[in-house]
Amino acid sequence: MNSIHQTLAAFTPDPDPPSLGTGLSAMAAAKADTLAVTCADDKRSWRDLHRRTNRMARGLLAHGVRHGDFLTIALPNGTGFVEAFYAAWKIGAVPQPVSWRLPLAEMKAIIDLANSPIVISDAPLDIGRPVVATADLLNASDDESDLPDVISPSWKAPTSGGSTGRPKLIVAGQPGVVMTVAAARMRITPDDVVLMPGPLYHNGPIVTVFPALMVGAPVVIMPKFDAEETLRLIEKHRATWVYLVPTMMSRIWRLPEEVRKRYDLSSLRTV
């Protein structure tokens, strides 16, 4: 049987935290043209991230997405994935990420469960619901001004792995507000540079990337994991914090010693 499981956040929220939209607005005012998100050659400053997601949020409204709706996001790693989350939060919707490579039958079952008004995907999908590309959301409005302040009832709704049956939505008990304590528990500070090689639709990367942005730490996203490329990007961006799972660590360790020693990893503080 399909079901939605409500989970409680594993942390105490900050007193009177601002909405995630207001939090990004504050970062844009404070950090302006400094980089917030980088993926390969695609870069977003804090101001760009804020203004573009204001436009995309209006695009969501134009496509019928409303406060409290689940919004299925089927995008690969990239700046667009981050923008889709913020655009959803700015209208009070709940981001509901899925792997963009899921078999259509599995994806349709999740989307039907979420009852998402639209699906954000840059690839065409035959799933019986409107599919809207990130560029179309952006082009739906040229109004970059702030929207009315709202708070999503839940800041994320990823899926379970389906090991005990069909995948379920895991709806966070924490609303869409800035969670500085979440970043602190991950040992992420505003002075960090976070490197993310993992798939963003997984919960681990979600609870790393977005709390980092909430406290003003820039994030470097890899389109996909590659062992040597991870080391190269640590050196290039002087990353201080990197997300790795054991399989990734093993693949890095299996690189030839001369390759592993080729890169300066001295900036790292947290792995």
- Residue count (the chain): 271
- 250 and 145 in one domain? no
- pLDDT tens digits, one per residue of 195-237: 999 999 999 999 999 999 999 999 999 999 999 999 999 999 9
Domain boundary among 158, 177, 196: 177
CATH for 165: 3.40.50.980
Of the three residues 142, 177, 212, the one that is the final residue of a domain is 177
Exposed e or buried b per residue across 161-188, where buried means at least 16 C-beta atoms within 10 angstroms of its C-beta: eeeeeebbbbbbebbbbbbbbbbeebeb
More confident residue, 168 or 77: 77
Same domain? For 132 and 194 the reply is no
Residue 98 in any domain: the answer is yes
CB 206 within 8 A of CB 155: no
* Phi, psi torsion values for 28, nearest 5 degrees: -65, -40
Q: What is the mean pLDDT of residues 145-172?
A: 88
| Number of domains the chain contains | 2
Say if residue 161 is in the same domain as residue 235. no
Domain region containing 150: 48-177
Flag whether pLDDT at 13 surpasses 60. Answer: no
Together in a domain, 168 and 52: yes
Q: Are residues 139 and 82 in the same domain?
A: yes
| pLDDT above 90: percentage of residues in the chain | 91
Say yes or no: 98 and 163 in one domain: yes
Q: Give the separation between CA 182 and CA 78, rounded to whole angstroms.
A: 22
Least confident of 119-133, 149-163, 182-196, 239-253: 149-163
Tokens for 228, please give them. 């040597």
169/184 same-domain check: no
- Same-domain status, 131 and 154: yes
12 exposed, middle or buried (CB, 10 Å; 0-12, 13-18, 19+)?
Answer: exposed
Domain annotation covers residue 9: no
Do 187 and 269 fall into the same domain?
Answer: yes
Last residue of a domain, one of 144, 177, 210: 177
Residues 126 and 191 in one domain: no
Long-range CB contacts (within 8 A, 24+) of 26-35 = 27/213, 27/216, 30/216, 31/216, 34/218, 35/218
Q: Is residue 88 domain-resident? A: yes
Q: Per residue in 15-43, pLDDT tens?
A: 789 999 999 999 999 999 999 999 999 99
